[in-house]
Amino acid sequence: MKTRQQWSESKKNLSEFLNVGDTVCEDIADEMMGVVPPLFCKGGFQVGEAMDHVGGRATYQTFIKNERGDWIFKGELHRLKN
Protein backbone atom coordinates (compact mmCIF):
# COMPACT_ATOMS: atom_id res chain seq x y z
CA MET A 1 0.00 0.00 0.00
CA LYS A 2 1.34 3.43 -0.97
CA THR A 3 1.34 5.84 1.97
CA ARG A 4 1.29 9.61 2.34
CA GLN A 5 4.75 9.45 3.92
CA GLN A 6 6.19 7.49 0.98
CA TRP A 7 4.67 10.01 -1.44
CA SER A 8 6.12 12.94 0.50
CA GLU A 9 9.57 11.34 0.70
CA SER A 10 9.56 10.52 -3.02
CA LYS A 11 9.50 14.25 -3.96
CA LYS A 12 7.32 13.29 -6.95
CA ASN A 13 3.91 14.53 -7.99
CA LEU A 14 1.12 12.00 -7.54
CA SER A 15 1.02 11.03 -11.23
CA GLU A 16 4.72 10.15 -11.10
CA PHE A 17 4.46 8.39 -7.73
CA LEU A 18 1.49 6.11 -8.45
CA ASN A 19 1.18 3.30 -10.97
CA VAL A 20 -2.12 2.00 -12.26
CA GLY A 21 -3.33 -0.70 -9.86
CA ASP A 22 -1.51 0.65 -6.79
CA THR A 23 -3.38 0.44 -3.51
CA VAL A 24 -3.32 3.78 -1.69
CA CYS A 25 -3.93 4.66 1.95
CA GLU A 26 -7.01 6.54 3.14
CA ASP A 27 -4.88 9.68 3.69
CA ILE A 28 -4.00 9.93 -0.01
CA ALA A 29 -7.59 9.22 -1.09
CA ASP A 30 -8.92 11.80 1.39
CA GLU A 31 -6.42 14.41 0.21
CA MET A 32 -7.30 13.85 -3.44
CA MET A 33 -11.00 14.02 -2.64
CA GLY A 34 -10.43 17.40 -0.99
CA VAL A 35 -8.23 19.07 -3.65
CA VAL A 36 -11.24 20.29 -5.61
CA PRO A 37 -14.79 18.97 -5.50
CA PRO A 38 -14.54 15.37 -6.74
CA LEU A 39 -16.53 13.74 -9.51
CA PHE A 40 -18.19 10.76 -7.87
CA CYS A 41 -18.54 7.58 -9.89
CA LYS A 42 -19.65 4.04 -9.18
CA GLY A 43 -17.38 2.65 -6.47
CA GLY A 44 -15.18 5.71 -6.08
CA PHE A 45 -14.28 9.17 -7.32
CA GLN A 46 -12.28 11.13 -9.82
CA VAL A 47 -10.22 14.19 -8.87
CA GLY A 48 -12.37 17.11 -10.01
CA GLU A 49 -9.70 18.86 -12.07
CA ALA A 50 -8.78 17.44 -15.46
CA MET A 51 -5.21 16.15 -15.75
CA ASP A 52 -5.11 16.06 -19.55
CA HIS A 53 -7.25 15.88 -22.66
CA VAL A 54 -7.21 12.79 -24.86
CA GLY A 55 -9.33 12.57 -27.98
CA GLY A 56 -10.87 15.93 -27.14
CA ARG A 57 -12.11 14.67 -23.75
CA ALA A 58 -10.77 15.43 -20.29
CA THR A 59 -9.06 12.74 -18.21
CA TYR A 60 -9.11 12.60 -14.40
CA GLN A 61 -7.09 10.77 -11.74
CA THR A 62 -9.42 7.94 -10.73
CA PHE A 63 -9.69 6.03 -7.44
CA ILE A 64 -12.02 3.05 -6.96
CA LYS A 65 -12.59 0.92 -3.83
CA ASN A 66 -12.10 -2.80 -4.28
CA GLU A 67 -14.17 -5.54 -2.62
CA ARG A 68 -11.97 -5.35 0.53
CA GLY A 69 -12.54 -1.61 0.83
CA ASP A 70 -9.03 -0.59 -0.30
CA TRP A 71 -8.59 2.42 -2.57
CA ILE A 72 -7.03 1.49 -5.93
CA PHE A 73 -5.52 4.04 -8.31
CA LYS A 74 -6.98 3.33 -11.75
CA GLY A 75 -4.98 5.95 -13.65
CA GLU A 76 -6.13 8.98 -15.60
CA LEU A 77 -9.45 8.06 -17.17
CA HIS A 78 -12.21 9.84 -19.05
CA ARG A 79 -15.14 10.86 -16.87
CA LEU A 80 -16.93 7.81 -15.48
CA LYS A 81 -20.67 7.62 -14.97
CA ASN A 82 -22.38 6.90 -11.64
Domain positions in the chain = 4-78
pTM, to two decimals: 0.92
pLDDT of residue 82: 75
Q: Cα torsion at 25, 26, 31, 34 (round to 10°)?
A: 150
Residue type at 10?
Answer: S
pLDDT of residue 35: 86
Residues of the chain with pLDDT under 50: none
Q: Report DSSP state, residue 3.
A: -
pLDDT of residue 81: 81
pLDDT of residue 39: 95
